Amino acid sequence: MAIVQASHTAAPAAPRRASRDTGIDFLRALCVLGVVLLHAIMVGVTVTDAGPVFDNASDGTGWIAPLSWLLQVMPLFFVIGGFSGLLAYRRMQQRGGTAVGFVAGRVHRLLRPAVFTIAIVGVGLALLTVFGVPAELIATAGFRYGQPLWFLGVFLLCQALLPLLAAAHERAPYRTIGILALAALAVDVLRAATGLEGLGFLNLAFVWMALQQLGFFLADGRIDRLSRRVRASAGVAALLLLVVTFATGVYSPDLIANINPPTAALLLVGVAHTSLLSLHRGRLERFSRRRSVAAFTDFVTVRTMTIYLWHMPVLLLMAGATAVYALTTGAVLPALDSTDWWAARPLWLATAVALTALVAVAFTRFESHPAPHATASRRRLVAGALSGLLGVVLLLVLGTSVATALIAVALLLTALRLASQETNAPSAAAGVLVPA
């Protein structure tokens, strides 16, 4: 990667709505809650003669597909990320800030809470080893913890490239999003034609960047300037096309399955979500101003990454505590997906949300602490972003263990150090990240 400069005269006009949109913030908070609830309901614990087993409670069930239509919020989350990111970047430009400063701030906001969480998880895995917990169970816990970290890596990539993608949006908005969408579709076609499942992971870039780009259209007012009929028609068309792809077997009706690896079906979900959002933004914003709703939004907004990073360790601790209770008391746990299991879900979900909130309150300072004022050089910032990505990818590919957690922490600390390194080199007021 490299940083190039954009001319001041070519800088676009500020997008509509320069201040924070409370309706969008509320919707993002709901997305975070949806992720916690989805992962919580998928955690299953059984005790066999060989010991406790952590299962995915949704495997082989019929309820996960319809539930995924309600709780698969990641397409909307990336649209909102594009919306908020573009507005924040333009506000920084208006204050004389740089793309380097914007990306450095994003690196710190995303990776600083991650360093602490990964370090604590690594220590926890080490203690489990010392206490004689079976290695297989520890490996399963490490794998379950690492699964949601794909979001951290992908969101970091999208935000690091946001200045570049914003510049491309200003020059050729429809061509840019069209190229990203076509690339995502091409990956799906190649994956299906060759049978190489690994090709699908290329869409970790194309699908999510295209959805972020869709958020740019919402931020600059292009979508709102369309008639309500056009916006509604676009949403209905996306939904109908999605149903057709499910009916013909092109994509799975389980939207969770369409996220690993990502497929172009998520683009249709994003269009449907964006259509619905644009049609009801006024109502959403008025509702978001209610005192209780605003309190919920404010609580989550300053802790978004902390909640995301900590909800899985909380769920694993709950699963472990359940297994220990069953082993020590001889209690028989209800079979997964049984009537008794479902009867216990409301309490399980409420406990997961409450404990995650408590942990988030305790560790908010790692996310809310302001980024250093020092400005990194462009080269150091690129190296820092790559170091952070490498640390996350390491945990995703090799799994979370004491060793990989230690290496990942070192890489993320390096990323933070590089992103805050002072430099005497001049920086442009409108630099953007571009591939070399």
Domain boundaries, the chain: 2-434
Helix axes 22-42, 304-329, angle to 10 degrees: 20
Backbone angles phi, psi at 370, to 5 degrees: -65, 150
Residue 175 has pLDDT above 80, yes or no: yes
Rounded CA gap, 226 and 180, in Å? 22
DSSP symbol at 9:
G
Query: What pLDDT score does 58 carry?
Result: 87
Tokens 């998880």 correspond to 121
Residue 426 has pLDDT above 50, yes or no: no
Predicted TM-score (pTM) of the model is 0.88
Q: What percent of the chain has pLDDT over 90?
A: 71
Q: Name which of 61-65, 273-277, 300-304, 352-356 the model is least confident about.
A: 61-65
Rounded CA gap, 136 and 377, in Å? 44
Query: What pLDDT score does 2 carry?
Result: 39
Helix axes 265-279, 228-247, angle to 10 degrees: 150
Query: What pLDDT score does 354 carry?
Result: 97
User: CB neighbours (10 Å) of residue 322?
Assistant: 21
Averaged pLDDT, 368-378: 67
Query: What pLDDT score does 431 carry?
Result: 33
Residue 14 has pLDDT above 60, yes or no: no
Q: What percent of the chain has pLDDT over 70?
A: 90
Nearest by Cα to 89 from 425, 430, 388: 430
Residue 18 burial (CB < 10 Å; 0-12/13-18/19+)?
exposed
Asked if 407 contacts 435 with a C-beta cutoff of 8 angstroms, the reply is: no
Query: What pLDDT score does 48 carry?
Result: 78
Look at the chain and count its residues. 436
Query: What pLDDT score does 130 carry?
Result: 92
Averaged pLDDT, 310-315: 95
Asked if 96 contacts 429 with a C-beta cutoff of 8 angstroms, the reply is: yes
pLDDT digits (tens, 9 = 90+) for 23-46: 999 999 999 999 999 999 999 888
Residue 343 burial (CB < 10 Å; 0-12/13-18/19+)?
exposed
pLDDT digits (tens, 9 = 90+) for 73-105: 999 999 999 999 999 999 999 998 888 889 999
DSSP symbol at 3:
E
Q: Which residues contact residue 220 at a Cβ distance below 8 angstroms, ignoring those fewer than 6 apart? A: 15, 16, 86, 169
Query: What pLDDT score does 132 carry?
Result: 87
Residue 391 has pLDDT above 70, yes or no: yes
Side-chain-side CA neighbours of residue 427 (13 Å)? 27
